[in-house]
Amino acid sequence: IMKLTKAMIDSGDRLSWSSPLVVDKHCVGGLPGNRTTLIVVPIVAAFGLMIPKTSSRAITSPAGTADTMETLAPVHLSPQKMRQVVEQENGCIVWGGAVSLSPADDVLIRVERAIDLDSEGQLVASILSKKIATGATHAVIDIPVGPTAKVRNQSMALLLKQLLEEVGNELGLVVRTLLTDGSQPVGHGIGPSLEARDVMAVLQGLPDAPNDLRERALTLAGAALECSSKVPPGLGKSIATQLLDSGQAFKKFQAICEAQGGMRELTKARFTYPVVAAKAGKVSLIDNRKLAKIAKLAGAPKSKSAGIDLHSHVGESVEKGEPLFTIHSESSGELHYACDLLRDKQDIIILGENS
């Protein structure tokens, strides 16, 4: 893994920054809607730490961080432009493929996308090579664990945690991993525009903002802030909360978008189809993979406004006929594809008895 990581770093450019402390953040993935980066970056940058974030497009999911950010601002920046944005605003959220930092990784991603695969060693090398190539000194890595997430169980998560921390350490990168709940999607939206809508709701403190997305982002931002000696251990999250609730993080996000080429208006899908509960009950299980597959058939991430709007989470009670989720699509043909899969897969959201 070490050799692969080094080879991947050497395959491209490596950035260096004026700041002695450069933070980065990554999520292992497999969890629809987990768009915390767009909240973490402005919080960390507003605090004054440098966080040059390069993100990938979707590999096997309905949206990658770069796809979601692209609905709000340009992400295809040259290395010179990226540097300019970071030096001006302390942070950026750009597509990694445009800045040729670990080009071998982009080739491997294209292969993975074609065969719907992610291998463990490849995953570790991919994550760490990108963090080191962007010039990071510290990285916070989110590992969602759940039966239908990318990392299925605790033992696999602990192995990944150990590999990331040990290989990172060997390469001079301080890695902090957080094992998080990966049992169900995060927020309401799955697909670029719908996820961006959730992010904006959290940043603006709107009443309908998804609390799970907010809490995850604050936990990760807190861990990132604690990389700085100015932040005592255990106080990162409360500082992150203050930066979000005061509006400073949203102001910083707007500034980053403007610096990257200007903020964009979100688009809405032309066609929608609500999927309703066949009976009353309590949501006991949500299959991340099947939900992601439907969002992809509906046109995500290619059609930015396509995807799924999830109305119910695990533990919530629903009435018969109440919408569980709504499929969004740009074309009636793609909406039909997504609905066809629904007929085959009745177990996407499982309802138990109301206790």
Structural domain boundaries of the chain? 2-259, 271-352
- According to the model, what pLDDT value does residue 247 have? 99
What's residue 104's pLDDT?
61
Instruction: Grade residue 13 by pLDDT with cuts at 50, 70 and 90.
Output: confident
Q: Which of 118, 142, 309, 347 is the catalytic position?
A: 118
* Structure confidence by residue, pLDDT tens digits, 153-182: 999 999 999 999 999 999 999 999 999 999
Known catalytic residue: 13?
A: no
**Mean pLDDT of the region 68-87:** 97
Average pLDDT over residues 270-294: 95
Averaged pLDDT for residues 107-120: 62
pLDDT at 327: 98
Give the number of residues written for the chain.
Answer: 355
2-259 and 271-352 have identical folds: no
* Protein fold of 271-352: Aldehyde Oxidoreductase; domain 3 (3.90.1170)
CATH topology of domain 2-259: Pyrimidine Nucleoside Phosphorylase; Chain A, domain 2 (3.40.1030)
Mean pLDDT value across the chain: 92
Residue 184 has pLDDT above 90, yes or no: yes
Question: What is the pLDDT confidence band of residue 108, given thresholds at 50, 70 and 90?
Answer: low
Segment 9-35 shows an average pLDDT of 90
Q: Which of 68-72, 76-80, 248-252 has the lowest average pLDDT?
A: 76-80
Residue 117 has pLDDT above 60, yes or no: no
Which pLDDT belongs to residue 219? 99
User: Which pTM was predicted?
Assistant: 0.94
pLDDT band at 143 (very low <50, low <70, confident <90, very high): very high
| Percent of the chain surpassing pLDDT 90 | 79
